[in-house]
Amino acid sequence: MRAKYKIIFFLPVALLILAVLKFFLPTPNLNDSYRDYCWIKKTHSTEQFNVLAVGDSRIYKAVNPEFLIDENSNLNAVNLGYSSVGYSAEYLSFVSGRIKEDHKSVVLCGITPYSFTPEALKNEHYHSFFDMDKKEVYKMLLLSGYLKNFPRYSPAEVWGYFTDAPITHLYYHDFKENGWVKSFKLPFDSTAGLIPYRKNFIDNTCNNNAVEEYMSWVKEMSHNNVAIIGFRPPSTLAMEQLEDSLSGFNYSSFIEGFEQNGGVWLKFSLNDYSSYDGSHLHYESANKFTKNLATKIERYFK
Amino acid sequence: MVFNSLEFLLFGLLFFLLWPLFKKKDNPRWLYLVTASFLFYGWWDWRFLFLIIGSGLIDYFSGLWIEKFPKVRKQFLLLSLAGNLGTLSIFKYSTFFAITLDSLFLKLGVQTNLVANIPEFALILPVGISFYTFQSLSYTIDIYRDRLKPTRNILHFFSYLSMFPQLVAGPIVRAKDFLKQLAKVPTVNSIQVWNGIKLIVYGLFQKVVIADNLSSFIDSAFSGSKHYDGPSYWWFVMVAFAFQIYCDFSGYSLIARGLAKTMGYHFKMNFNHPYLSSSLKEFWGRWHISLSTWFKDYVYIPLGGGRKGVYLGMLFLWITMLLSGLWHGANITFIIWGAVHALFLTLERFYSKVKFFNKIPKGLLILITFIQASIAWVFFRAESFDQSIIVLKSMFTFQSSDFKFLTTYFDAMIFLGTAIVIELVILLKRTKTSVQLVYKRYNLDLLFISIAIVTIIMFRGEGKQFIYFQF
């Protein structure tokens, strides 16, 4: 075949192969271009919300904004959680900027001891998106529609599709535009998170100044008619015991200060939910948890 | 702007769309090339442009004055050397030199803090500085040696120095080869365009599919985030790194050559399947060829090469390899990487004369050469000298191996296997005429290129910057 015909045909042949493969292959486990888009949108959007869930990965995996509000209402909700988030003045200011001012608003704060440690207060995950080059941000927001159609596949996944081999190892993430991350992990191991968390608190315990700053923010928001709802995101009993013993964070005195400053504290039973790694909720539990949370905050919108 | 980005796709499409309008006349062609190249380079940081323009102007005028004032030609060469090497020292080596001097003075009992006094601007490493500095240097040195006539047209000179396909990561093109090409109206036929497309697609495949997909396996090993250890694990890591760096850099070179070919220019081959070499000497004739020949022509041979006896030849080899290591990075680990290669090359010179070694099957020699290169890569990749030693100890510890990491990194192993198979197929294609015939008869290149495009779209790794940009 002559070179000029090859130049004409190589792209159509590639597109044909791609179309055939796309027909046979299901959507892959992780569309990371779309993942990045979701994080960038969460960070750089200026849209304001009535209900905002804030906190670390336990929050962005546990609170599904879809179930927080009645779909027929005029309200809107978002999950502004980031991995290992710390309640620094910067993060709190970011949250404040996203609260809808002309309505009664609710901020749901997932309080984990790690969120007040010096390492968390660096907010590295949040900064990785906040500090991004403006060109990258613009490009990602502009191209999101196209990126959805070109997910990356992993050879292991493709192998699994064609061989029907039982999946024994999988860390599933499905990123949603509302900030929630639907997730689960195989094999299920409710103790997996304990070792990393034990390491997390070495030379890195609760910073009392950060707690005080957070309390001032709660007071300010409450004065501005924003309902601040606090709760400990459900994980496992072993995880809670580990955090309580190593973090230097005292929940009783925190809750006392939180309520004195106008916050409302909610308690959830650990027995109602299941965590796939001892830290994060399986997506089914996350939906159940969100529905319970929604019931408890209903009164704020009446 | 990197080749594996959307910006470059748009830039490239626009460039090739307008190229036929400008390419027929010299000045418009050069102006178009320079403008496009400056846009390409300035996309990283427009301030970098001052550096390349400044360094280029020194060499442009030095070249003219070397010819015009023969009595003081040496001074103008020195001006060019000082300008280029000075810039490189400030931006690339100032921190390294300051740390080295600080620790040296401390050993002598004098407390200094040179690192803290480095101006902030010198802490930024402009992308590709080592590449265009060497390219620029070769221009003035060749004029000084009467091997090249300087160009009087500044656009002609800057289109040589800044041409975007090879500006930031080579191949390092020589003025005496490329200025002539730039002076002609480039013509291109469909065979050249098809060959250019093949190079671009295969280069992208190497970078995006192989190198990028191996990076998480290697990065996690060197960052210590995964708790695997043992000889088998570290050998896999180092073999993976050998292919990651090869595919990353060779991928860039192929794309650069493909772009040039599509424009109607020719860059010499920069990588010729180095892991199929049966000796380290051969390896250096196949790995980063434009840099190896640069060091050979401008360092090793001017020092005396092999003409001044065996022992001086060895000394010159060591100097060249150590400088090559330093060129790659301002860290002691890169210098040791150069030293390890010098050591292996020295040993090779001796044992290649022993009859027994000439009887070793070629396949085994290829394996031995690859193992030597992989050992040297440890120093190149490690974060510090101490880490290199830990990794080497793990590689050569005779203990039972745990292969659990193969499950965790199943995907990386698939990509590593693919890279190895491709090299073996290329070996077969080169040595077996029947394979060549099948390839041609059934137009397998069309099918392979189409499959490569599908693989790039479906199995691309997380977009990473090219490793060699940091050099």
How confident is the model at residue B469, as a pLDDT?
Answer: 57
The angle at the Cα of B326, spanning B323 to B330, to the nearest 5 degrees, equals 160
pLDDT band per the 50, 70, 90 thresholds, residue B285: very high
In whole angstroms, how far apart are CA B40 and each of B132, B154, B161?
A: 14, 19, 13
- Kindly report which listed range (A143-147, B150-154, B262-266, B360-364) carries the lowest average pLDDT score: A143-147
How confident is the model at residue B61, as a pLDDT?
Answer: 94
Q: Which residues of B touch A17 (CB under 8 A)?
A: 450-451, 454
For residues B201 and B190, what is the distance between their CA atoms, to the nearest angstrom?
16
Cis peptide before B274 (omega within 30 of 0): no
Amino acid at A124: E
Closest C-alpha to B170, from B103, B247, B268: B268
If you average pLDDT over residues B264-288, what whole number do you get? 93
- Higher-confidence residue of A92 and A23: namely A92
The residue of A1, A6, A149 whose CB has the most chain B CBs within 10 angstroms, and thus the best one to mutate to test that interface, is A6
pLDDT for B400 beyond 70: no
- Three-state DSSP class for residue A281: strand
Q: Whole-model pTM?
A: 0.80
The backbone region for B419, taken as left when phi is positive above 0, alpha when psi lies in -120 to 50, beta otherwise, is alpha
Q: What is the mean pLDDT of chain B?
A: 88
Q: Which residues of A touch B460 (CB under 8 A)?
A: 152
pLDDT for A302 beyond 80: no
Q: A134: Cβ–Cβ under 8 A, 6 or more apart, which residues?
A: none
pLDDT for B17 beyond 90: yes
The residue to which tokens 């990371």 are assigned: A32
How confident is the model at residue B223, as a pLDDT?
Answer: 84
**CB contact B85 to A (< 8 Å):** no
For residues A233 and A285, what is the distance between their CA atoms, to the nearest angstrom?
12
For the record, the structure tokens of A85 come out as 């988030």
How confident is the model at residue B99, as a pLDDT?
Answer: 85
For residues B132 and B146, what is the distance between their CA atoms, to the nearest angstrom?
21
How confident is the model at residue A288, as a pLDDT?
Answer: 96
Q: Which residues of B touch A134 (CB under 8 A)?
A: none
pLDDT for A17 beyond 70: yes
For residue B196, the chain A residue with the least C-alpha distance is A7
- Report the residue from A6, A135, A150 with minimal CB separation from B457: A150
Percent of chain A with pLDDT over 90: 58
pLDDT for B464 beyond 90: no
**CB contact B415 to A (< 8 Å):** yes
b/e sequence B263-289, b meaning 16+ C-beta within 10 Å: bbbebeebbebbbbbbbbebbbebbbb
If you average pLDDT over residues B122-141, what whole number do you get? 85
How confident is the model at residue B270, as a pLDDT?
Answer: 93
pLDDT for B32 beyond 90: yes
For residue A33, the chain B residue with the least C-alpha distance is B462
- Report the residue from A1, A139, A153 with minimal CB separation from B459: A153
CA distance B403 to chain A (A): 16
- Higher-confidence residue of B113 and B74: namely B74
Residue-by-residue DSSP string for B256-290: HHHHHHHHT--PPPS---GGG-SSHHHHHTTSSHH
Q: Do A152 and B460 touch (CB under 8 A)?
A: yes
pLDDT for B38 beyond 90: yes
pLDDT for B401 beyond 80: no
How confident is the model at residue A192, as a pLDDT?
Answer: 84
If you average pLDDT over residues B110-123, what whole number do you get? 77
CB B199 within 8 A of CB B236: no
How confident is the model at residue B44, as a pLDDT?
Answer: 82
- Kindly report which listed range (A147-151, B152-156, B409-413) carries the lowest average pLDDT score: A147-151
Residue A299 DSSP label: G
The residue to which tokens 């748009």 are assigned: B10
pLDDT band per the 50, 70, 90 thresholds, residue B359: confident
Q: How many CB pairs under 8 A join A and B?
A: 69
B328 carries an active-site annotation: yes
* Strand segments (E) across chain A: 51-54, 77-79, 105-110, 170-175, 181-186, 226-231, 264-266
For the record, the structure tokens of A291 come out as 């529905």
How confident is the model at residue B399, as a pLDDT?
Answer: 75
pLDDT band per the 50, 70, 90 thresholds, residue B27: very high
pLDDT for B140 beyond 70: yes
How confident is the model at residue A82, as a pLDDT?
Answer: 96
Q: Do A3 and B190 touch (CB under 8 A)?
A: yes
pLDDT for A88 beyond 90: yes
Q: Do A155 and B410 touch (CB under 8 A)?
A: yes
Helical ranges in B275-401 per DSSP H: 280-284, 289-295, 301-303, 310-328, 332-351, 355-358, 362-381, 385-395
The complex's ipTM? 0.76
- A242-260 pLDDT, tens digit per residue, is 999 998 999 999 999 999 9
pLDDT for B226 beyond 70: no
For residues A180 and B399, what is the distance between their CA atoms, to the nearest angstrom?
46
